[in-house]
Homo-oligomer: A and B are copies of this chain.
Amino acid sequence: MTDSLDDLAGRLQQFAIARDWQKFHSPKNLAAALAVEAGELLEHFQWLTEAESRGLGPQKRQEVGSELADVLLYLVQLATALGLDPIAEAEKKLALNEERYPVARARGSSARHSEL
């Protein structure tokens, strides 16, 4: 893990240690918490049309930012707990996707995309 996420990971670890919350932070529990926050993020969009979701007002955008933060905070803590580097994992996955979905065949096709 590098730079800004590194920083965040360190601060989150101190946050949990100071509150004696590490006992709650098993990877199983962190994965559940991440899924819960992903649901709260989705809640903001559930009744919007796609077009509306592309044009959020400033307050809604801020609320979404706050939920997105919660997801990221649990993602970083889960990665730390498992000794994983999220950036390295993401780069590996992106490289794999570039191979799996060659531009020529994937262009504009939602069918291929939906396998992603």
Which A residues lie at the B interface, using CB under 8 A? Answer: 2-5, 8, 11-12, 15, 18-21, 23-24, 26-29, 31-54, 56, 61, 64-66, 68-73, 75-76, 78-79, 81-84, 86-87, 89-94, 97-98, 101, 103, 106-108, 110, 113-114
Contact = CB atoms under 8 A, between A and B. Distances in A.
Contacts of A21: 106, 108, 113
Nearest to A6: B4
A-B CB proximity, top 10 nearest: A39-B39, A28-B53, A69-B93, A38-B38, A26-B50, A20-B108, A69-B89, A27-B53, A28-B45, A35-B38
A5 B31 CA distance: 21
B32 A32 contact: yes
